[in-house]
Amino acid sequence: EWSGGSHTAPELRLLLFALAYSLRATKIIETGYDTGMTTVILAETGAEVVGIDNGEEYPNVKQAAIERVKEYPNIQLVQGDALEYLKNQVDASIDFIFVDDAHHYDWVLTEALEVKRILKPGGVAVFHDTVECNLWGVIKETFSDWQKIELPAISPGLSRNMGVGIVRKPGSGV
């Protein structure tokens, strides 16, 4: 069965790894870990990775995620509300964030404001499904003074562009 994690193209996983690795990220958050496939790729950078998922979407793949990440001591899976988790993080404390949980405008706007607060200067956030869920507008507005780019991200299962938006917080590197 195709789940959210399965819609993250292998090329996008490679890009996420390359971005996090090139930043020398030590603290990474992934919202909406689904199958844990992207979580493992992020952990391969050597960073501490926290995956947050409330378990409501694709509940049948959560056990597979637990199994997939169990060999990685640098991964912590948290079952809970991603927005609440982000709100509880210290200002300028996270190097890299992959946002792939709820995809409606108000939710993404609220998460984006938390991302702005908790990313370190020079840190990067990547938002999945910007085309599929028409989210690039809210990201462009929220991060108007940040470097940003929207790229195609073709779902292997749906063969259509889900879209990915990348933003970088102004300031010195991580």
> Rounded to an integer, what distance in angstroms lies between the CA atom of residue 78 and that of residue 112?
20
Helix (H) or strand (E) holding 112, with range, is helix 105-118
User: What pLDDT was estimated at residue 60?
Assistant: 79
User: What pLDDT was estimated at residue 3?
Assistant: 60
Q: What is the 3-state secondary structure (H, E, C) of 3-48?
A: CHHHHCCHHHHHHHHHHHHHCCCCEEEEECCCCCHHHHHHHCCCCE
105, 96 Cβ separation under 8 angstroms: no
36, 68 Cβ separation under 8 angstroms: yes
Q: Which DSSP letter does residue 59 get?
A: G
98, 20 Cβ separation under 8 angstroms: no
User: What pLDDT was estimated at residue 31?
Assistant: 96
For the chain (length 174 residues), average pLDDT per consecutive 10?
A: 69 96 98 92 98 84 90 97 97 97 93 98 96 95 97 90 96 74
> Rounded to an integer, what distance in angstroms lies between the CA atom of residue 48 and that of residue 100?
18
